[in-house]
Amino acid sequence: MKAELVDFGELNIEGERYRKDVVIEGGRIRKRDKGPSKALMTARWRHTPLTTAEEIPWGGNRLIVGTGAKGQLPIAPELRAEAERRGVIFEALPTSEACRLLADIDADDVYAIIHVTC
């Protein structure tokens, strides 16, 4: 799947532009709904963290998380623990690097959450 962080806050996936965080589930792209995680934002996490309260795309054996342009998306420890419990390989890395990983995966096999800012 071809994906690229073209600018801070702007992602290009397969020729389509996205200016919001996205969830990719088996090649289908949807907007990330941060609402369930907003309540868990604290002084420790100045941004909305990624948590198990959200609809996580658990359908594959690997979950790739793009943590933003500077890699600052907070990830709740219970999300990593849930991935381990499910036997899912959890990879969290800056968004540009995550996009490079997606290039080697068939779109139908992509399960990812991509943060476009911070």
Q: Encode pLDDT of 39-50 as tens digits.
A: 878 766 678 999
CATH number for the domain including 87?
3.40.1230.10
Residue 12 Cα to chain centre, angstroms: 14
Q: For 79-98, what is the mean pLDDT?
A: 98
Instruction: Give the number of domains in the chain.
Output: 1
Range of the domain at 57: 3-115
Say which range, 42-51, 55-64, 77-86, has the weakest mean pLDDT.
42-51
Confidence class for position 92, pLDDT limits 50, 70, 90: very high
> Which pLDDT value is given to residue 109?
96
In our burial notation (b when 16+ CB lie closer than 10 A, e otherwise), range 56-80 reads bbeebeebbbbbbbebebbbbeebb
Q: For 93-110, what is the mean pLDDT?
A: 96
Confidence class for position 91, pLDDT limits 50, 70, 90: very high
> Which pLDDT value is given to residue 117?
92
First-to-last alpha carbon distance for the chain, in angstroms, is: 23
DSSP structural state of residue 102: H
Picking from 53, 75, 55, 76, the residue whose alpha carbon sits closest to that of residue 65 is: 75
